[in-house]
Amino acid sequence: MALKAKSASETKAADLASALVRIADREGAPCRIGVGQLRQSNPRLTPLAIGQMVRKHHDIIEAILAERGYTLADYSDQGPGRGMEIEIAVN
């Protein structure tokens, strides 16, 4: 059985989940993570990319978080310039 290659957006979703795990490990869960923290962790994660990945590849993000005992508790996006936050909780 051949392995399916990941698309660029699936790879970016995995990068987002990895950044969320690193921040949650460092700060302790439950925690709220803003765009600024994610950009420091991985500069490729723009606000637009973050929003798209959370909506499009929610399952990938949840799976990676679950491997580390976390869950995506909340995602809020108030629009351009108003802020975005992701809340991570412990399973």
28: region left, alpha or beta (phi > 0 left; psi from -120 to 50 alpha): left
Q: Crossing angle of helices 47-56/8-27, nearest 10°?
A: 100
Tens digits of pLDDT across the chain (91 residues):
556 667 888 888 999 999 999 999 998 889 999 888 888 888 888 888 888 888 899 999 999 999 999 999 888 877 665 678 889 999 8
pTM, entire model: 0.83
* Domains defined for the chain, CATH in brackets: 8-90 (1.10.10)
